Structure 1
Amino acid sequence: MLLLARFGLMADLALLMGLPLFWWAMGMAGQRVLLAGLALGGMALSALWLLASAASMAGTPMLPPDWATAKIVLTMTPIGPVLAVRGGALLAALGLAMAGRDRWVLVPAAIAAATMAWTGHAGASEHGAGAIHRIADVAHIWAASGWIGALAILLYAVTRRRPPVDRIAGMLAKFSLLGTIFVATLIVTGAVNAAMIVGVADMGMLTGSRYGWLLGAKLVLFCGMLALAGINRWRLTPALERGENAIAALRLSLCVETSAAIGILALVAWLGTLDPLA
């Protein structure tokens, strides 16, 4: 349940930030009901994650909830302040969404997504190195959220009964620069995070640990996403702009790329609960 809560929370917060970011970049109108639902979902999943974390720490079943341990976690660990900041950001996002200020949801959504950096390995780092680790992790989370939000909107567009081909081609072309920034950020911050979590001297020990194998699987999926993104940018987008019938190939590419992104989120949810060198 802890893994499911982490996975659901990461996916929810990534979409809550990524969708308005893509709408803002494309100059598109947003969907207030969807954003409001994601904000409420983030609150519910945060509560589920708290109860699952308390049960994991106490070694007790999740049901019935161990309220005493949950209170200790909230009042005596950094989880309490993290959830307070996230809760306030999600309430602000909900209010902005209900008021029709879809693009402005991006600001509190980015804050809510950033709190995930304090609930994994980066949150355990201390002193100056800890600050660098958390900054890198926040940038990593934001870049991943932007990519996931773009994938969600593009996949929806290509799977409609009558896909708006010209509009899709325009979105892909405009997204190319932003996508390049996301990829570069993910590569740089991913390297920083790996060095901070494992240590450069201990990288070789990953080959014998579960963490290392899962991290390797994540890198394989990420490389696959990069390859598909390159095909979309350099082959399928020009084909659409020339009026060629490439929508079926683009649909397949985006489906596979989105599946890889879901796989990466699941792996990250698992990695965050493991000792890298155990």
Structure 2
Amino acid sequence: MVEGALIAARFALMIDLALLMGLPLFWWTMGLPGRRGIVALLAISGALLSALWLLASAAAMTGTPISSPDWATAWILLTMTPIGPVLAVRGAALVLALVAAALPHGWRWALLPAAVAAATLAWTGHAGATEDTVGSLHRAADVAHIWAAAGWTGALAVLLHAVLTVRATTGEVQHVARMLARFSVMGTLIVATLVISGAINAVMIMGVAQLPALLGSTYGWLLGAKLVLFGLMLGLAAANRWRLTPALEGGMPATTLAHLRLSLIVETGAAVAIIALVAWLGTLDPAV
């Protein structure tokens, strides 16, 4: 129950910070109007979820229920461990994102502090425990992985909303088709970054010689499930790019839209499941 609360807190925080960075990134690269209110809401919820994650971490350490917060342990985590500086940086970044969101067109300026806030997740998982130069490389790869995942998450959120709300009129359908086509370049960069940084992370966490041991561990099975879901997302993204988007541009909008909606719903569901698995993986010993 205590571990479940920690995993749930990590999951909600990862979703929030991914959207906080990913939405402005997609709006900016696609030339779309941003939503300051959404950015502000995500910044505020990011701060609240960070506090919840701290309490869940304290509860997991002491074995006490999160419903009865262990304030003493939480204070120790804040003042005597690296968690304190990490949360300070994240908190400052979230405040800057919130201030930026209050300005006209400020959602663009919120992208940089949002990226910093998302990057702090690298210091609260396995990468944060790696030391020396190897640790710096591990965290750099993890930050790249987080940013790429955030970009894909934000893109899926906007694209799914677009296909679910679009009416089968030529102008609106063509706008969605152009958005999907333009995302292909960004999507290729995201996938390449995820593959390279993910491979580096796997080697850093386990070591090359220990990779076969993953087959017999809970960590390995969850990682395998993550890779299967990632493969599913790649297949759906490829179908969207090479089959459904051209069909949407060429006619039959009603039929194609139905297929595209289903595809993006499944792809988004797979992305959410992957984030849930990552939240779980971050609480496990890779050797167990």
Tell me the TM-score normalised to structure 1 length: 0.99
Question: Does residue 1:257 correspond to 2:267, yes or no?
Answer: yes
Report what 1:33 is aligned to. 37
Asked if 2 retains the 8 angstrom alpha-carbon contact of 1:29 and 1:102, the reply is no
Deviation of residue 161 (structure 1)?
5.6
Once residues 182 and 244 of structure 1 are traced to their aligned partners in structure 2, the CA distance between those partners, rounded to angstroms, is 30
Report what 2:221 is aligned to. 213
Once residues 181 and 141 of structure 2 are traced to their aligned partners in structure 1, the CA distance between those partners, rounded to angstroms, is 28
Q: Which residue of the other structure, out of 116, 120, 137, is the alignment partner of 1:115?
A: 120
Once residues 190 and 161 of structure 1 are traced to their aligned partners in structure 2, the CA distance between those partners, rounded to angstroms, is 35
- SS of corresponding position for 1:176: helix
Once residues 140 and 252 of structure 1 are traced to their aligned partners in structure 2, the CA distance between those partners, rounded to angstroms, is 27
Deviation of residue 104 (structure 1)?
1.4
Report what 1:95 is aligned to. 99
1:261 maps to a residue whose letter is A
Q: Which residue of the other structure, out of 28, 46, 52, is the alignment partner of 1:48?
A: 52
Once residues 64 and 216 of structure 1 are traced to their aligned partners in structure 2, the CA distance between those partners, rounded to angstroms, is 35
Q: Which residue of the other structure, out of 244, 263, 283, is the alignment partner of 1:273?
A: 283
1:180 maps to a residue whose letter is T
Question: Does residue 1:14 correspond to 2:49, yes or no?
Answer: no
Q: Which residue of the other structure, out of 131, 144, 147, is the alignment partner of 2:136?
A: 131
1:195 maps to a residue whose letter is V
Asked if 2 retains the 8 angstrom alpha-carbon contact of 1:74 and 1:80, the reply is yes
Question: Does residue 1:171 correspond to 2:179, yes or no?
Answer: yes
Question: Deviation per CA, 1:188-233, whole angstroms, max 9, x where unpaired?
Answer: 0000000000111001111110000000000000000000000000
2:48 maps to a residue whose letter is A
Report what 2:67 is aligned to. 63
Asked if 1 retains the 8 angstrom alpha-carbon contact of 2:166 and 2:173, the reply is no
Deviation of residue 108 (structure 1)?
0.3
Off by >4 Å, runs of 4+ in structure 1: none
Once residues 262 and 69 of structure 2 are traced to their aligned partners in structure 1, the CA distance between those partners, rounded to angstroms, is 43
Deviation of residue 185 (structure 1)?
0.2
Once residues 166 and 154 of structure 2 are traced to their aligned partners in structure 1, the CA distance between those partners, rounded to angstroms, is 21
Once residues 202 and 102 of structure 1 are traced to their aligned partners in structure 2, the CA distance between those partners, rounded to angstroms, is 44
- SS of corresponding position for 1:104: coil
Deviation of residue 64 (structure 1)?
1.9
**Count of aligned positions:** 278
Report matched runs for 1:214-229 at 5 Å.
Answer: 214-229=222-237
Question: Deviation per CA, 1:14-73, whole angstroms, max 9, x where unpaired?
Answer: 000000000000111111111111001100000000000011112222222111111100
Report what 1:160 is aligned to. 165
| Of 98-107 and 177-186, the range deviating more from structure 2 | 98-107
Percent identity of paired positions between Structure 1 and Structure 2 = 67
Once residues 79 and 173 of structure 2 are traced to their aligned partners in structure 1, the CA distance between those partners, rounded to angstroms, is 53
Once residues 152 and 63 of structure 1 are traced to their aligned partners in structure 2, the CA distance between those partners, rounded to angstroms, is 32
Deviation of residue 243 (structure 1)?
2.3
Q: How large is the Cα RMSD of the aligned pairs?
A: 0.8
- SS of corresponding position for 2:67: coil
Once residues 144 and 104 of structure 1 are traced to their aligned partners in structure 2, the CA distance between those partners, rounded to angstroms, is 20
- SS of corresponding position for 2:109: helix
Report what 1:143 is aligned to. 148
- SS of corresponding position for 2:264: helix
Deviation of residue 242 (structure 1)?
1.0
Once residues 206 and 252 of structure 2 are traced to their aligned partners in structure 1, the CA distance between those partners, rounded to angstroms, is 48
Deviation of residue 87 (structure 1)?
0.3
- SS of corresponding position for 1:30: coil
- SS of corresponding position for 1:103: coil
Which segments of 5 or more consecutive residues in structure 1 lack a partner in the other structure?
Answer: none
Question: Does residue 1:185 correspond to 2:181, yes or no?
Answer: no
